[in-house]
Amino acid sequence: MLQVEDLHAGYGASEVLIGTTLTVKQGSLVALIGANGAGKTTTMRAISGGLKPSRGRVVLDGQEVQGLDASRIARLGLAHAPEGRKVFGPLSVEDNLLLGAYGRLPRFFGFRAKAQADLDRVYDLFPKLRDRTKQAAGTLSGGEQQMLAIGRALMARPKVMLLDEPSMGLAPVIVQEVFRIIRRLKEEGITLLLVEQFAKSALEVADYAYVMERGRIAVEGTPADLSRNERVIAAYLG
């Protein structure tokens, strides 16, 4: 569903990605782990178009999308819940969710009715959001904002969802909640690429995992393989 081949990207003269290659099969949950600064978030941004890759290919559902505008890639079926959540603070929870489905809703009137089924689905998944539909997203707690960011990405009914550090800055109880939700998304058959600092938790839910070091994939394999890899254990699981 998503293939990344020999991806190079960076900021100005400094190249952060030097040939990243990975594959996310339909319906699978793939984890991308690695130390801070290894290039995980840069990989996500280069896939979703926030950063233009200087070399390499990104293939989404059979179509090459590298170099396209982020908005175009999003409309082709990629939803990216970015690092730091990036909810629209001044807008209400419901407006944030509606904007998640922007690509398939009418622009002027009748959009709420058309999105109702998706809204209900997100509210069923995140009951806390249902109580706060009119509240400004910026006033939610960090955990609630993360739920909103995931819900907003779900609203797009994406072919592939990128989840970047969903547990960042959250209390341990909330982190458990986030992973419970990730499991639930996986059960629903959503294709997911997950970047996570909690490598252990990420490997527990993933079907397959890549370990990034200095801008390229250093090790890859099933979680069972990686849990036996001494290098991975020493660096990330110890």
Partner 1 sequence: MNASIIGQMAVSGALMGLVYALIAYGFQLTYATSKSINFGQGELVMVSAFFSLTLTNLGLPYWLMVPGGLLFGALLGLVVERAGVRLALEQKGEGWILLTIIIGLFFFSAAENIWGRDDRPFPTPISADPIHVLGVDITRIELSVAVGVLAIMGLVELFKRRTLLGKAFEAVSADRDAAELMGISATRTVMLSYGLSGSVAALAGILVSPITTVGPTMASALILKAFSVAVVAGLDSGFGVVLVGMFLGALESLASFYLGSGWREAPGLVLLILALALRPTGVFGKATIRKV
In the bound complex, what is the minimum distance in angstroms from residue 75's beta carbon to partner 1?
4
In the bound complex, what is the minimum distance in angstroms from residue 74's beta carbon to partner 1?
4
Contact between 91 and partner 1 (CB under 8 A)? Answer: yes
Question: Which region, judged by CB under 8 A, interacts with partner 1, from 8-16, 18-26, 65-73, 201-209?
Answer: 65-73
Cβ(2)–Cβ(63) below 8 Å? no
Question: Which region, judged by CB under 8 A, interacts with partner 1, from 13-21, 25-33, 56-64, 101-109?
Answer: 101-109
Rounded Cα–Cα distance for residues 6 and 55 (Å): 7
Among 40, 80, 186, 216, binds partner 1 (CB under 8 A): 80
Using the minimum distance from each CB to partner 1, give the nearer residue, 166 or 223.
Answer: 166
In the bound complex, what is the minimum distance in angstroms from residue 211's beta carbon to partner 1?
26
Cβ(168)–Cβ(197) below 8 Å? yes
Rounded Cα–Cα distance for residues 33 and 87 (Å): 24
Contact between 134 and partner 1 (CB under 8 A)? Answer: no
Rounded Cα–Cα distance for residues 94 and 18 (Å): 40
Angle at the Cα of 20 (from 14 to 26), degrees rounded to 5? Answer: 140
Give the position of tokens 């955990």.
Answer: 143
Helix/strand/coil for 82: coil
Question: Which region, judged by CB under 8 A, interacts with partner 1, from 8-16, 27-35, 67-75, 219-227?
Answer: 67-75
Using the minimum distance from each CB to partner 1, give the nearer residue, 108 or 238.
Answer: 108
Among 50, 61, 218, 229, binds partner 1 (CB under 8 A): 50
Those residues whose C-beta lies under 8 Å from the C-beta of residue 224, and which sit 6 or more positions away, are none
Rounded Cα–Cα distance for residues 139 and 145 (Å): 9
Among 79, 163, 178, 217, binds partner 1 (CB under 8 A): 79
Contact between 119 and partner 1 (CB under 8 A)? Answer: no
Cβ(150)–Cβ(100) below 8 Å? no
Using the minimum distance from each CB to partner 1, give the nearer residue, 95 or 213.
Answer: 95
Contact between 107 and partner 1 (CB under 8 A)? Answer: yes
In the bound complex, what is the minimum distance in angstroms from residue 229's beta carbon to partner 1?
33
5, containing H or E segment: strand 2-11
Rounded Cα–Cα distance for residues 59 and 51 (Å): 16
Q: Which two tokens stand for residue 105?
A: 């809703």
Q: Give the residues lining the site for partner 1 (CB under 8 A).
A: 48-50, 69-72, 74-75, 79-80, 82, 86-91, 95, 98-100, 102-103, 105-109, 111, 152, 156
